[in-house]
Amino acid sequence: MANFLAWQYWSSPYARSAVVWFAFFLLYNFYCFFWRHYIGGVQYDFVDSQTFWVKEWGTVLLLSFAGLALVERIPANHLISLSVIGFGAVCLVSSTSRVLIDYEFYGGNWGGSLVGLAPKYLMASVLVVAGWWACLLQLPQGIGPEAESGSSQGDTLQVEHLGVPKSLPLDHIQYIAAAGNYVEIHDKFHSYIQRGTIKQFADILPDTRFMRVHRSYIINLAKVTQLSNAENGAANVLLGGEHKVAVSKTYKNALKNRLAHHV
According to the model, what pLDDT value does residue 63 have?
A: 79
**How many other CB atoms are there within 10 angstroms of residue 254's CB atom?**
13
Rounded CA-CA distance 24/188 in Å is 31
Residue 261, pLDDT > 80, answer no
According to the model, what pLDDT value does residue 59 have?
A: 82
According to the model, what pLDDT value does residue 212 have?
A: 93
Confidence of residue 146 (pLDDT cuts 50, 70, 90): very low
Rounded mean pLDDT, 193-200: 86
Asked which of 101-115, 202-216, 234-248 is least confident by mean pLDDT, the reply is: 101-115
pLDDT in tens, 36-78: 767 766 677 778 778 878 887 888 888 788 877 776 666 555 6
pLDDT in tens, 210-258: 999 999 999 999 999 888 888 788 899 898 777 889 999 988 998 988 8
- Separation in Å, CA 4 to CA 1, 11, 127: 5, 12, 19
Confidence of residue 20 (pLDDT cuts 50, 70, 90): confident
Residue 109, pLDDT > 60, answer yes
Confidence of residue 79 (pLDDT cuts 50, 70, 90): low
Rounded mean pLDDT, 172-198: 87
Residue 141, pLDDT > 80, answer no
Confidence of residue 178 (pLDDT cuts 50, 70, 90): very high
According to the model, what pLDDT value does residue 161 have?
A: 65
Rounded mean pLDDT, 186-212: 87
pTM: 0.45
Residue 175, pLDDT > 90, answer yes
Average pLDDT, the chain: 76
Comparison of pLDDT for 201 and 19, the residue scoring more:
201
